[in-house]
C-alpha cells in the first residue's frame, strides 16, 4: 500500500482462455477504459468498481500468459506490471490469478510462479458453475492451504457471482493477510517449470476430484469441427454466412440511418435562412452528408465484429488456426496468423496488433505485411456503394444474391493476393530458416455470454463513432472547403466545383490516374481517403453533391451510375482491394515493426499492386466493351 | 510404470497415430530443429502441461500430412505440429 490508500489496485493475471476478461467485465461493467501502454500497442484495459464496504478499486486486465518469462511484448507488460517495473503503472496491491475452474493445471503452475514475486495474491476459480455442473469437486480449504494463498470461487457471468470475491478483496485490503514479501522471482529454468507443474499436479490431486465420466461434448463436437475434411467445410460455411450476413442483414438498418441523415440535412437546409447559402451548403453537403455516409456503415461493421467476438468466445478461433496451419504453411504463414488475419477483416489495426501472438519475428513480419490486404470494414462503404450502383440486384442459382457474390469475390481476391504475397516473401527472403513452432491450447467450447459480447460490441462501435466524429469529420470539413473555394466568378458557366482547389488537385493527379479510368472527381476522393478509406465515399458524396446539388447528395449511387462507366467502377473496386490508403494502418506498421523501412515497403508494394490491378481491370473491361 | 505382464513400448508423439494414448516418458527438444533454442522449446512444452508422467492421447489430426495434431494432455487439449511433437516420447 502506498500513499494513495483511498484507491486499491487490483491486477488480473491468468492464462489465455481463463475467463479473465469476462471477470473483468463483471467487475467493472461499462466503467472501463481501453487505451495503449505508452510506446507499445498493447491494449491497456482498466476499470473501477466499488466494494460493498465503499472501497474504490481500480482493476487492470493484464494480457494472458502461461508464465512471467515475458516471451512477447504482451507478456512483458504482464510481468513488468506485476513486478512494479512498469513506469507509470501502480504496483498492484493485490494480484488476482484467474483460473478456469474446469481446467486448473496450467493456471496453478502460474500461481506458484506468481507467489514468488512476493505480491499479495489471491486465486480466483472462475466459471465455478460449469465445473460444478460437470461434477468437479474442489476442496477449497485444502487448495488454499496447499497453495498458501487465499482461494475464492466466482461465476463472472451471473448476478452476485462475484460477491465472495468482493468480500475477500475487502478483507485483504483491510490488511488481513495481504502483506507484501520480498520478490524472489527469477525467470524459471526448464527444471523449475517442470518442478512447478509437478507441484501443481500434486496439489490438484490432493484437493480436486474430477468426475468419473469426463465431459465429452467438446470432444464430440471436435470430431466434426476438427475433422480433416468436414472441419474445412464448416470453416468455409461459417465464413460464407458471415459475409452474406454483413451484406444482407444490415440493409434495412442502413436504409433507416440513411433516411435519417437525409431528413436531418433537409431539415437544416430548411431552417437556415436562404441568405447564407455557404453555411447551408457546409452543414448539409459537408458535415451531414459526409459524416452520414460513413456512419451508415456502422451496422455492417457491428455484424462483422459480432461474428468475430462470438467465434472467439465459443473457442472456435483456436480451432480455425489448427485447421489452417498447414494450409497457410504452404504460403509461408504460421497457423497463428489466422486470428490476426481474420481480425483484419474488421480492421487491419487490431489485426496487426494481434500479430503479437506470433512470437517468431519473421512469421510476424510476414503477417503484418499482408494484413492490410484483408478486406477491412473501411472498404465495405466503398464496395457497397459501387456494387449497389453497378451490379444488378438479382439472384443467381436461385438463392445467392449477385451483389453478395461480387462482395465475396472481392474478399476472396484480397485473401488470394495476401497468400500470393506471403508466398513470394517466403520464397525470396525467408526460405533458409527453420520454422517456428505451432503450439496452441484448444479451449473447451463455451457458450458466449451476452454481456461480454455486448460490451465488446459497444467498445468497437464507440471507437468507430469517435473516428467518424474526429478524423472523418475534420476530413469532410477540409474536403468541403477545397471543393467550395474559390467560388466561381460571377456569371461563370457550369458547376461551381469546377473552379475550386479540389478540381485543381484532381486535374493535377489525373495524368497519373487516367490509365485506370479514374476521372478527376475520383482523384480528389482518393487523397483524403489516405486518412481512412471510407472517407473516399464521403468525399465522393461531397464532391458530387456540390457539383450536382441536393438531388445528387441523396442519390450518390444513382449519380455514379450515370457518370461512370462500368469499367471505371470495376477498376476502382480493383484499386481498393490493394490500395495502401490508410494512414493509421501505416502508422501502426511503423510502430509494430519499429522501422520506417517496413512501412515504406508496405506502402510501395500495395501501391504498385493497386495500380497494376486497376490498369489490368480497366484495360480488359474496356476491351470487352464496358468502357 | 513397467509391469511384468504388459510389455511397454516407446514412441515419439510426432509419429503417433490418431487414437494413440500413453504417458509421457521424456521431453528432449534437442531432437527438433526449430527457430527456437532447445531450452526455449522445452520450456514452452512444459508451460502447456507436457510434463513427464502426464497422460496423452492423440485426438485429431489435420488434413495436409496428418498435421498438426490435437493432443489431450491430462485435462487440456493442445494443438501442436508433429515436428515439435518429436520432442516428446510416449510410453504406451
Q: Choose the closest CB to A228 out of B51, B63, B77.
A: B63
- Kindly identify which residue of chain A lies nearest to residue B45, measuring between CA atoms: A439
| Subunit contact B36:A436, Cβ cutoff 8 A | yes
Q: pLDDT per residue over B8-39, tens digit each?
A: 789 999 999 999 999 999 999 988 888 788 89
Q: Which residues of chain A make contact with B39, given a CB cutoff of 8 A?
A: 189-190
Residue B1 located in a structural domain: no
Q: Which residues of chain A make contact with B45, given a CB cutoff of 8 A?
A: 439
Low-confidence ranges of chain A (pLDDT < 70): 1-6, 35-42, 176-178, 247, 285, 290, 293-294, 429-433, 467-468, 471-472, 491-497, 528, 530-532, 534, 545-555, 581, 627
Q: Say how many CB pairs under 8 Å bridge A and B.
A: 132
Cα(A396)–Cα(A244) distance, integer angstroms: 14
| Subunit contact B62:A198, Cβ cutoff 8 A | no
pLDDT at A296: 73
The set of cell numbers assigned to A216 is 465429452
- Would you call B52 an interface residue with chain A, using a CB distance cutoff of 8 Å? yes
Q: Which residue has the cell 501443481?
A: A200
Residue B42 located in a structural domain: yes
| Subunit contact B79:A433, Cβ cutoff 8 A | no
CA angle, B26 then B29 then B34, to 5°: 155
pLDDT at A384: 82
Q: Which residue has the cell 457474390?
A: A405
Residue B82 located in a structural domain: yes
| Subunit contact A360:B42, Cβ cutoff 8 A | no
Q: Choose the closest CB to B49 out of A106, A229, A329.
A: A106
Q: ipTM higher than 0.95?
A: no
- Would you call B46 an interface residue with chain A, using a CB distance cutoff of 8 Å? yes
The set of cell numbers assigned to A101 is 475452474
Which residues constitute the domain of residue B79?
A: 10-91
Task: List, as ranges, residues 57-86 from B with C-beta within 8 Å of A.
Answer: 59-68, 70, 74-81, 83-84
pLDDT at A625: 77
Cα(A512)–Cα(A529) distance, integer angstroms: 17
pLDDT at A230: 94
Task: Count the domains in chain B.
Answer: 1
Residue B81 located in a structural domain: yes
Q: Which residue has the cell 473501411?
A: A378
- Using DSSP's 3-state secondary structure scheme, residue A470 falls into helix
The set of cell numbers assigned to A270 is 430548411
pLDDT at A2: 40
Cα(A590)–Cα(A599) distance, integer angstroms: 5
Q: How many other C-beta atoms lie within 10 A of the C-beta of residue A556?
A: 22
| Subunit contact B79:A326, Cβ cutoff 8 A | no
Residue B4 located in a structural domain: no
Residue A154: asked if its preceding bond is cis (omega within 30°), the reply is: no
Q: pLDDT per residue over B32-87, tens digit each?
A: 888 788 899 999 999 999 999 999 999 999 988 898 999 999 888 999 999 999 99
| Subunit contact B77:A218, Cβ cutoff 8 A | yes
Looking at per-residue confidence, does A210 or B2 come out higher? A210
Domain CATH number, residue B26: 2.30.30.90
| Subunit contact A69:B61, Cβ cutoff 8 A | no
Q: How far apart are the first and last CA of chain A?
A: 73
The confidence band for B7, taking pLDDT boundaries of 50, 70 and 90, is low
Phi-psi sector, A401: left (phi>0), alpha (psi -120 to 50), beta: beta
DSSP assigned state of A53: T
| Subunit contact A105:B49, Cβ cutoff 8 A | yes
List the one residue out of A340, A69, A63 whose CA is nearest residue A187. Answer: A69
Residue B5 located in a structural domain: no
The set of cell numbers assigned to A366 is 510476414
For residue A6, CA distances in Å to A67, A94, A219, A295, A427 come to: 31, 14, 48, 42, 59
Residue B17 located in a structural domain: yes
pLDDT at A153: 93
How close B47 comes to chain A (CA, Å)? 6
Torsion over CA of A419, A420, A422 and A423, rounded to 10 degrees?
110
Whether B23 and B1 have beta carbons less than 8 Å apart is answered as yes
Residue B22 located in a structural domain: yes
Q: Which helix (H) or strand (E) holds A169?
A: helix A163-173
Amino acid at each position: 500500500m502506498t500513499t494513495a490508500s483511498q484507491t486499491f489496485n487490483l491486477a488480473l493475471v491468468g492464462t489465455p482462455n481463463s475467463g479473465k476478461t469476462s471477470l473483468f467485465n463483471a467487475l467493472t461493467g461499462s466503467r472501463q477504459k481501453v487505451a495503449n501502454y505508452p510506446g507499445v500497442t498493447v491494449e491497456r484495459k482498466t476499470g473501477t468498481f466499488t466494494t460493498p464496504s465503499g472501497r474504490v478499486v481500480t482493476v487492470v486486465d493484464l494480457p494472458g500468459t502461461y508464465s512471467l518469462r515475458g516471451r512477447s511484448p504482451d507478456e512483458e507488460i504482464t510481468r513488468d506490471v506485476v513486478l512494479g517495473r512498469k513506469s507509470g503503472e501502480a504496483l498492484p496491491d493485490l494480484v488476482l490469478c484467474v483460473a478456469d475452474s474446469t481446467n486448473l493445471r496450467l493456471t496453478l503452475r502460474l500461481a506458484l510462479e506468481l507467489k514468488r514475486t512476493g505480491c499479495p495474491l489471491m486465486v480466483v476459480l472462475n466459471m465455478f458453475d460449469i465445473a460444478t455442473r460437470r461434477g468437479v469437486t474442489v476442496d477449497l480449504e485444502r487448495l488454499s492451504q496447499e497453495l498458501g494463498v487465499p482461494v475464492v470461487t466466482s461465476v463472472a457471468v451471473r448476478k452476485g457471482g462475484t460477491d465472495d470475491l468482493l468480500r475477500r478483496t475487502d478483507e485483504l485490503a483491510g490488511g488481513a493477510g495481504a502483506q507484501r514479501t520480498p520478490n524472489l522471482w527469477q525467470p524459471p529454468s526448464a527444471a523449475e517449470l517442470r518442478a512447478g507443474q509437478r507441484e501443481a499436479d500434486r496439489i490438484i490431486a490432493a484437493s480436486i476430484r474430477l468426475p468419473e465420466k469426463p465431459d465429452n461434448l467438446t470432444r464430440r463436437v471436435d470430431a466434426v469441427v476438427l475433422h480433416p475434411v468436414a472441419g474445412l467445410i464448416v470453416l468455409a460455411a461459417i465464413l460464407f454466412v458471415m459475409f452474406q450476413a454483413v451484406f444482407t442483414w444490415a440493409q434495412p438498418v442502413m436504409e433507416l440511418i440513411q433516411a435519417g441523415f437525409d431528413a436531418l440535412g433537409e431539415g437544416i437546409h430548411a431552417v437556415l435562412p436562404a441568405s447564407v447559402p455557404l453555411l447551408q451548403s457546409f452543414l448539409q453537403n459537408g458535415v451531414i452528408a459526409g459524416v452520414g455516409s460513413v456512419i451508415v456503415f456502422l451496422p455492417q461493421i457491428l455484424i462483422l465484429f459480432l461474428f468475430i467476438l462470438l467465434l472467439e468466445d465459443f473457442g472456435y478461433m483456436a480451432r480455425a488456426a489448427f485447421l489452417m496451419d498447414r494450409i497457410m504453411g504452404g504460403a509461408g504463414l504460421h497457423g497463428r496468423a489466422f486470428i490476426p488475419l481474420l481480425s483484419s477483416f474488421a480492421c487491419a489495426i487490431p489485426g496487426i496488433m494481434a500479430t503479437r501472438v506470433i512470437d517468431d519475428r519473421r512469421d510476424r513480419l510476414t503477417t503484418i505485411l499482408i494484413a492490410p490486404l484483408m478486406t477491412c470494414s473501411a472498404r465495405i462503404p466503398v464496395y457497397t456503394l459501387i456494387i449497389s450502383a453497378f451490379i444488378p440486384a438479382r439472384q443467381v442459382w436461385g438463392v445467392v444474391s449477385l451483389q453478395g457474390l461480387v462482395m465475396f469475390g472481392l474478399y476472396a481476391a484480397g485473401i488470394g493476393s495476401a497468400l500470393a504475397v506471403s508466398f513470394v516473401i517466403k520464397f525470396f527472403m525467408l526460405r533458409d530458416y527453420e520454422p517456428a513452432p505451432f503450439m496452441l491450447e484448444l479451449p473447451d467450447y463455451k457458450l458466449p455470454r451476452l454481456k461480454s459480447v455486448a460490451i465488446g460490441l459497444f467498445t468497437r462501435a464507440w471507437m468507430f463513432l469517435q473516428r467518424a466524429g474526429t478524423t472523418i469529420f475534420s476530413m469532410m470539413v477540409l474536403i468541403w472547403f477545397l471543393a467550395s473555394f474559390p467560388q466561381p466568378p460571377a456569371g461563370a458557366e457550369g458547376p461551381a466545383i469546377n473552379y475550386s482547389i479540389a478540381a485543381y488537385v484532381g486535374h493535377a493527379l489525373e495524368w497519373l490516374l487516367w490509365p485506370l479510368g479514374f476521372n478527376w472527381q475520383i482523384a480528389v476522393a482518393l487523397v483524403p481517403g489516405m486518412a481512412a478509406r471510407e472517407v473516399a465515399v464521403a468525399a465522393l458524396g461531397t464532391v458530387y453533391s456540390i457539383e450536382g446539388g441536393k438531388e445528387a447528395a441523396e442519390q450518390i449511387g444513382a449519380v455514379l451510375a450515370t457518370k461512370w462507366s462500368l469499367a471505371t467502377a470495376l477498376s476502382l473496386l480493383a484499386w481498393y482491394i490493394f490500395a495502401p490508403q490508410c494512414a493509421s494502418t501505416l502508422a501502426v506498421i511503423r510502430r509494430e515493426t519499429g522501422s520506417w523501412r517496413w512501412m515504406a515497403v508496405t506502402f510501395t508494394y500495395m501501391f504498385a499492386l493497386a495500380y497494376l490491378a486497376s490498369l489490368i481491370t480497366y484495360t480488359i473491361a474496356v476491351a470487352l466493351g464496358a468502357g | 510404470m513397467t509391469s511384468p505382464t504388459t510389455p511397454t513400448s516407446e514412441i515419439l508423439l510426432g509419429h503417433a497415430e490418431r487414437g494413440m494414448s500413453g504417458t509421457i516418458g521424456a521431453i528432449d527438444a534437442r531432437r527438433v530443429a526449430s527457430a527456437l533454442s532447445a531450452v526455449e522449446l522445452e520450456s514452452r512444452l512444459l508451460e502447456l502441461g507436457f510434463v513427464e508422467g502426464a497422460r496423452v492421447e492423440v485426438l485429431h489430426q489435420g488434413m495436409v500430412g496428418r498435421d498438426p495434431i490435437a493432443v489431450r494432455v491430462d485435462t487440456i487439449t493442445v494443438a501442436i505440429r508433429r515436428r515439435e511433437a518429436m520432442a516428446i516420447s510416449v510410453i504406451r
